[in-house]
Chains A and B, each alone.
Chain A
Amino acid sequence: MLNEFLQEQIRNHLGSVDELPPQYRALFEEISMEYEERENARQEKKKMTANLNAIINSYGDLIFSVDVEYKILCANDAFLSAMHRLTGHTLHQGDSLLVEDIGEEWVLQWKPYIDRSLLGEKMKVDISETQGEKLQYLELSFNPIKEKNEVIGVACFSRDTTKEKLNAKQLLANEVRFRSLIENSQELLMLFDEKKNIVYISPAVEDTLGYTNEENHRDILEDIYPDDHMSFLEQFELALENAGTPIPSTLRMRRKEGGYFWLQGSLTNMLHQPGVHAVVGQYRDITEKKSTNEKLRRSETHLHTIFNNADTGYMLLDKNLKVVYFNQHAQKFAQEELFNTITEGRHVLDLFPIGRRDSIAKVLEKVLEGNTVGYDISYIQPNGTEKWYHAKYFPVSNDSQDVFGIILSLTNFTEQKLADQLIKESNDRFKLVARATKDVIWDWDLLTDEIYYGEGYEKNFGYQHTKHFNSIYTLLERIHPEDRERVSKGLRAAIYDPQVDSWTDEYRFIKADGTEAYIHDCGYIVYNDKKRPIRVVGSMQDITARRIVDEKLLKSERRLREISSSIPGVVYQFMINGLGAASIPYISEGAQSLLGASPEELEGEFDLKMEKVHPDDRDIFMKSVELSAATMEPWLHVFRVFVPEYRGYKWIRGNSIPKRMEDGGILWNGTMIDVTDQKITEIELRKMAADLIQRNKNLEQFSFIVSHNLRAPVANILGISSALQEERSENQVEQELREGLYASALILDEVLMDLNNILQVKQEINEIKETVYFIKLVSDVKVSLKTQLESSQAIIKCDFSEVGQMHTLKSYVQSIFYNLIFNSVKYRRPEVAPVIQIRSKRINNGIELAFKDNGRGIDMLENGNQIFGLYKRFHTEIEGKGMGLFMVKNQVEAIGGRISVHSEVNKGTEFRIIFEDK
Chain B
Amino acid sequence: MITMDIPYKVIIIDDDTINNTLCSVVIRKIATDADIQTFSIPEKGFQHIAHEAPADEKPVLLFLDINMPGWSGWVFLENFEKLDEEIRKKFKIYMLSSSIDIQDKERAKASKSVVDFVVKPLTTNKMLAILEANS
Interface residues of A (CB under 8 A from B): 707-708, 711-712, 714-716, 718-720, 722-723, 726, 752-753, 756-757, 760, 764, 811
Q: A723-B25, A726-B29 are in contact. Are A715 and B98 (CB under 8 A)?
A: yes
Q: A723-B26, A726-B124 are in contact. Are A716 and B100 (CB under 8 A)?
A: no
A707, A714, A726, A757 pick with most chain B CB within 10 angstroms: A707
Closest to A704 in B: B101
Partner of A716, one of B102, B121, B123, B124: B121
Give chain A nearest CB distance to B67 CB in angstroms. Answer: 5
Is B19 interfacial (CB-CB < 8 Å)? yes
Q: Cβ of A719 and Cβ of B100 under 8 Å apart?
A: no
Is B9 interfacial (CB-CB < 8 Å)? no
Tell me which residues across on chain A come within 8 A of B25, comparing CB atoms: 723
Give the docked Cα–Cα distance between A707 and B66 (Å): 12
Q: Cβ of B120 and Cβ of A716 under 8 Å apart?
A: yes
Q: Cβ of B101 and Cβ of A719 under 8 Å apart?
A: no
Is B122 interfacial (CB-CB < 8 Å)? yes
Give the docked Cα–Cα distance between A760 and B103 (Å): 10
Partner of B121, one of A707, A708, A722, A757: A722
Tell me which residues across on chain B come within 8 A of A757, comparing CB atoms: 100
Partner of B101, one of A715, A716, A760: A760
Q: A715-B19, A716-B18 are in contact. Are A708 and B99 (CB under 8 A)?
A: yes
Q: Cβ of B29 and Cβ of A719 under 8 Å apart?
A: no
Q: Cβ of B102 and Cβ of A719 under 8 Å apart?
A: no
Q: Cβ of B122 and Cβ of A719 under 8 Å apart?
A: yes
Tell me which residues across on chain B come within 8 A of A714, comparing CB atoms: 98
Q: A719-B19, A723-B29 are in contact. Are A712 and B101 (CB under 8 A)?
A: no
Q: Cβ of B29 and Cβ of A716 under 8 Å apart?
A: no
Give the docked Cα–Cα distance between A915 and B69 (Å): 43
Closest to A721 in B: B121
Tell me which residues across on chain B come within 8 A of A715, comparing CB atoms: 19, 98, 119-121
Closest to B125 in A: A722
Tell me which residues across on chain B come within 8 A of A711, comparing CB atoms: 98-100, 120
Q: A712-B120, A719-B22 are in contact. Are A811 and B102 (CB under 8 A)?
A: yes
Closest 4 CB pairs of A and B: A719-B121, A715-B120, A712-B98, A711-B98
Tell me which residues across on chain B come within 8 A of A718, comparing CB atoms: 120-121
Instruction: List 5 A-B residue pairs with CB atoms under 8 Å apart, sorted by A's residue number.
Output: A715-B19, A716-B16, A719-B19, A719-B22, A752-B100
Closest to A811 in B: B102
Give chain B nearest CB distance to A555 CB in angstroms. Answer: 68
Tell me which residues across on chain B come within 8 A of A722, comparing CB atoms: 121, 123
Q: A716-B19, A719-B26 are in contact. Are A753 and B100 (CB under 8 A)?
A: yes
Tell me which residues across on chain A come within 8 A of B103, comparing CB atoms: 764
Tell me which residues across on chain A come within 8 A of B122, comparing CB atoms: 719
Give chain A nearest CB distance to B123 CB in angstroms. Answer: 6
Partner of A764, one of B19, B100, B102, B123: B102
B residues 98-134 in Cβ contact with A at 8 Å? 98-103, 106, 119-124
Tell me which residues across on chain B come within 8 A of A720, comparing CB atoms: 18, 22, 121
Give the docked Cα–Cα distance between A811 and B29 (Å): 37
Give the docked Cα–Cα distance between A809 and B123 (Å): 33
Q: Cβ of A716 and Cβ of B22 under 8 Å apart?
A: yes
Give the docked Cα–Cα distance between A725 and B12 (Å): 24
Give the docked Cα–Cα distance between A897 and B16 (Å): 42
Number of B residues whose C-beta is below 8 Å from A? 21
Give the docked Cα–Cα distance between A657 and B22 (Å): 77
Give chain B nearest CB distance to A517 CB in angstroms. Answer: 86
Give the docked Cα–Cα distance between A760 and B29 (Å): 36
A719, A720, A723 pick with most chain B CB within 10 angstroms: A719
Give the docked Cα–Cα distance between A714 and B121 (Å): 9
Give chain A nearest CB distance to B43 CB in angstroms. Answer: 20
A722, A752, A756, A764 pick with most chain B CB within 10 angstroms: A722
Q: Cβ of A719 and Cβ of B99 under 8 Å apart?
A: no
Q: Cβ of B102 and Cβ of A760 under 8 Å apart?
A: yes
Give chain A nearest CB distance to B106 CB in angstroms. Answer: 8
B residues 59-87 in Cβ contact with A at 8 Å? 67
Q: A715-B19, A716-B18, A726-B29 are in contact. Are A708 and B98 (CB under 8 A)?
A: yes
Give chain A nearest CB distance to B1 CB in angstroms. Answer: 10
New A-B pairs, 19, CB < 8 Å, besides A712-B120, A756-B100? A708-B99, A708-B101, A712-B16, A712-B19, A712-B98, A714-B98, A715-B121, A716-B16, A718-B120, A719-B22, A719-B121, A720-B18, A722-B123, A726-B124, A752-B100, A757-B100, A760-B102, A764-B102, A811-B102
Closest to A722 in B: B123
Give the docked Cα–Cα distance between A711 and B103 (Å): 15
Closest to A703 in B: B101
Give the docked Cα–Cα distance between A523 and B121 (Å): 112
Give the docked Cα–Cα distance between A714 and B67 (Å): 15
Give the docked Cα–Cα distance between A757 and B26 (Å): 28
Closest to B119 in A: A715
Give the docked Cα–Cα distance between A811 and B26 (Å): 33
Give the docked Cα–Cα distance between A726 and B121 (Å): 14
Tell me which residues across on chain A come within 8 A of B121, comparing CB atoms: 715-716, 718-720, 722
Closest to A706 in B: B100
Closest to A716 in B: B18
Give the docked Cα–Cα distance between A764 and B99 (Å): 15
Give chain A nearest CB distance to B107 CB in angstroms. Answer: 12
Give the docked Cα–Cα distance between A719 and B99 (Å): 15
Give chain B nearest CB distance to A583 CB in angstroms. Answer: 65
B residues 11-52 in Cβ contact with A at 8 Å? 16, 18-19, 22, 25-26, 29
Give the docked Cα–Cα distance between A764 and B106 (Å): 13
Tell me which residues across on chain B come within 8 A of A707, comparing CB atoms: 99-101
Closest to A756 in B: B100
Give the docked Cα–Cα distance between A757 and B101 (Å): 8
Q: A708-B67, A708-B99, A756-B100 are in contact. Are A719 and B124 (CB under 8 A)?
A: no
Give the docked Cα–Cα distance between A716 and B17 (Å): 10
A715, A757, A760, A764 pick with most chain B CB within 10 angstroms: A715
Q: A708-B99, A711-B99 are in contact. Are A719 and B120 (CB under 8 A)?
A: yes
Give chain A nearest CB distance to B18 CB in angstroms. Answer: 5
Q: Cβ of A719 and Cβ of B67 under 8 Å apart?
A: no
Give the docked Cα–Cα distance between A714 and B119 (Å): 12
Q: A719-B22, A723-B29 are in contact. Are A756 and B101 (CB under 8 A)?
A: yes
Tell me which residues across on chain A come within 8 A of B22, comparing CB atoms: 716, 719-720, 723
Give the docked Cα–Cα distance between A718 and B18 (Å): 12
Tell me which residues across on chain A come within 8 A of B101, comparing CB atoms: 707-708, 756, 760
Tell me which residues across on chain A come within 8 A of B106, comparing CB atoms: 811
Give chain A nearest CB distance to B126 CB in angstroms. Answer: 10
Tell me which residues across on chain B come within 8 A of A752, comparing CB atoms: 100
Tell me which residues across on chain B come within 8 A of A719, comparing CB atoms: 19, 22, 26, 120-123
Give the docked Cα–Cα distance between A811 and B16 (Å): 30
Closest to A714 in B: B98
Tell me which residues across on chain A come within 8 A of B29, comparing CB atoms: 723, 726
Tell me which residues across on chain A come within 8 A of B124, comparing CB atoms: 726
Closest to B23 in A: A719
Give the docked Cα–Cα distance between A711 and B67 (Å): 12
Give chain B nearest CB distance to A888 CB in angstroms. Answer: 15
Give the docked Cα–Cα distance between A753 and B22 (Å): 21
Give the docked Cα–Cα distance between A712 and B29 (Å): 22
Closest to B25 in A: A723
Give chain B nearest CB distance to A597 CB in angstroms. Answer: 61
Give the docked Cα–Cα distance between A811 and B103 (Å): 10
Closest to A719 in B: B121
Give chain B nearest CB distance to A346 CB in angstroms. Answer: 118
Closest to B66 in A: A708
Give the docked Cα–Cα distance between A760 and B104 (Å): 12
Give chain A nearest CB distance to B33 CB in angstroms. Answer: 18
Give the docked Cα–Cα distance between A726 and B19 (Å): 17
Give the docked Cα–Cα distance between A712 and B98 (Å): 5
Give the docked Cα–Cα distance between A337 and B121 (Å): 123
B25, B102, B119 pick with most chain A CB within 10 angstroms: B102
Give chain A nearest CB distance to B56 CB in angstroms. Answer: 27
Give the docked Cα–Cα distance between A719 and B24 (Å): 11
